[in-house]
Structure 1
């Protein structure tokens, strides 16, 4: 029998789970017994969103969880999101269903690399996208989300010198709309980086009345085709309040579950995978890291209360400051 420390990495199936077990019911039962809540990012699979207490973007989930009296939370997303939950709820147990659920964007900016870059640019302040590790946040002056980045940057000194990271596309967009000339870290999300302009143009021909929505992590040429540019929450809110009936969506396909649930009379068309140089279709509209979260892993992490997320107290002390600064400005 595999050790508990191995089941996350090797896909261990708990022998106590019999075939045909209603995992959704068992998860909710464990939540009630342990005073736990389930947090699900919009990019997780629909079954996980359906059992969650809260569904949303990463920082919104962490803030919502901190406001509850829950003793324990399961962050169904990627690793840095669980870290952010721990930063805002240091006295609560934060569980992560799969420690291997990483993030290409967060991984594109290592703390040691950012520190070196800061040392090479004295006098510059760091603005970090929330999609970063706690160690990177600890080197940051103010954190932003895709939803509030413009508002926060607009309030910073006009003559200030800033490094923006790690998402190059978001930083480039903010530079354009604010007139800033921030230095941009060359990082990105592997999903949003690969959306195809040609695929969107094909969909526009097929659905001429559809509204094109694109996440700010997409490249400039993709954003140029979008009617609605913004965060996942921005796109969802627009769809809910709009009279239009068709939407072409350029972000991770998991959001379509909540869009369709909240707008059953509307049609949401995901921008499809592109064709790679090898001629093979690639699943560029899904994040394989988000999809590492499964009902079985959630059940196991609740049952064993493992893996638990901890953040070094010294890092946590500094990492929470730029989040607090952002909340002051947004």
Structure 2
């Protein structure tokens, strides 16, 4: 079956089943193109919280589908491939968080959305890269703050807010692999380009040293900025799936990935064929234990309400 035929089949199935497809900006181009909404974790969480669809097909990784299931306990949430996980989420467990809470009974736990439901259940508030700074600024800085699990995002938040936190030493294997060398070479080859960098990237403050006017932005922030900018050439430091969305949303502009091999294999596990099977056979239903979901819901809703 040709992909164009498969895409049409998916469109018809969506209508028949009152389903909505949510896709992250790192997904394959053809997957983004059949989605009803494409965006970052925060934007997709907001859509999931308000959808009238009976079925949510999440073209993303497992923690995203879990979040949608927590926000929609009476709806069917599907993920087309159960193995679509997250290397960053795997760096921390609920046991790790509970140990910190036991040692800091007056502490506040800020959990990046890239975490399991069990970790979210122990958090005071969740964040995404789009609103992490705003969330931390809203907290009581006189009390200990545990920021988890991305150390580079945590360092960025500390740098911007001036608030010292306990930061977990986790990283995304894709963003952690984007370093000074690739950035320096790309910037030297395109000196007039604007530089947009995701705060999960490993170079941190050294990237800002290489190009002081660099913009540290979430994936959705990159799209919004590129659309509004008068500039026509951009160097992009994040997972390369975002380039397809940037090209669609800001046509006529040039987007240059810092590292062509910055590919999340987990995101790319989702294919049109798997989305089709998911809609036909309800593959695979994502459910969260009721007690864990109840405990995590407050932290997720707090994330959605800020920034």
Q: Does 1:114 align with 2:97?
A: yes
Q: Match for 1:294 among 240, 246, 271? A: 271
Which residue of 127, 132, 149 maps to 2:115? 132
Task: Output the TM-score relative to the length of structure 1.
Answer: 0.88
Q: Take 2:69 and 2:90, find their aligned partners in 1: how far apart are those partners?
A: 19
When residues 224 and 36 of structure 1 are mapped into structure 2, their CA distance, relative to the original with a 3 A threshold, is farther
Please name the residue that 1:231 is paired with: 218
> Which of these residues, 67, 78, 81, is aligned with residue 98 of structure 1?
81
Q: Distance in 1 between matches of 2:224 and 2:292?
A: 35
Evaluate the alpha carbon distance shift between residue 32 and residue 106 of structure 1 in structure 2; reply closer, same or farther with a 3 A threshold.
Answer: same
CA contact 1:125–1:140 (8 Å) conserved in 2? yes
The within-5 A match list for 1:25-104 is 25-104=8-87
| Aligned counterparts of 2:209 and 2:156: Cα–Cα separation in 1 | 10
Q: Does residue 222 in structure 1 map to residue 199 in structure 2?
A: no
Change (3 A) 1:20 1:259: closer
Uncovered stretches (5+) of structure 1, i.e. residues with no partner? 1-17, 274-282
Shift of 1:327: 4.0
| 1:196 and 2:179 correspond | yes
Verify the 8 A CA contact 1:63 1:88 in the aligned structure 2: no
Contact 2:26 2:239 in 1 (8 A): yes
Cα offset, 1:27, TM superposition: 0.8
3-state SS in 2 of match to 1:200: helix
Could you tell me how far apart the structure 1 residues matched to 2:27 and 2:3 are?
A: 22
Deviation of 1:177 after TM superposition, in Å, equals 1.3
Q: Aligned partners of 1:22 and 1:299: how far apart in 2?
A: 11
Q: Choose the corresponding residue for 1:271, options 230, 250, 258.
A: 258
Q: Does 1:313 align with 2:290?
A: yes
1:134/1:23 Cα in 2 relative to 1: closer, same or farther (>3 Å)? Answer: same
- After superposing on structure 2, the runs of 4+ consecutive aligned residues of structure 1 that deviate more than 4 Å are 18-21
Tell me: CA distance 1:20–1:139, structure 2 relative to 1, closer, same or farther (3 Å): closer
Q: Kindly indicate whether the alpha-carbon contact (under 8 Å) linking 2:120 and 2:296 is maintained by their aligned counterparts in 1.
A: yes
- Report the CA distance between 1:78 and its aligned residue: 0.2
CA–CA separation in structure 2 for the residues paired with 1:19 and 1:50 = 15
Residues 234 and 225 (structure 1 numbering): CA distance in 2 closer, same or farther, change over 3 Å? farther
Q: By how many angstroms is 1:97 displaced?
A: 0.5
Q: Which stretch shows the higher mean deviation, 45-54 or 319-328?
A: 319-328
Q: Which residue number in structure 1 is paired with residue 162 of structure 2?
A: 179
Map of 2:139 onto structure 1: 156
Q: Which runs of 5+ in 2 are unaligned?
A: none
Q: Tell me the TM-score normalized by structure 2.
A: 0.95
Please state whether the residue corresponding to 1:22 is helix, strand or coil. helix
Q: Is the 8 A contact 1:95 1:308 kept in 2?
A: yes
C-alpha distance in 1 between matches for 2:115 and 2:3: 38
Larger radius of gyration, structure 1 or 2? 1
For structure 1, which segment, 310-319 or 225-234, has the greater mean C-alpha deviation from structure 2 after superposition? 225-234
Shift of 1:66: 2.8
| 1:199-253 deviation line (CA, Å, top 9, x unaligned) | 2111112111101110011121235445110101111111000010110000000
Determine the structure 1 residue equivalent to 2:280.
303
1:279-326 Cα shifts (integer Å, max 9, x gaps): xxxx3x110000000000000011001210000000000001112233
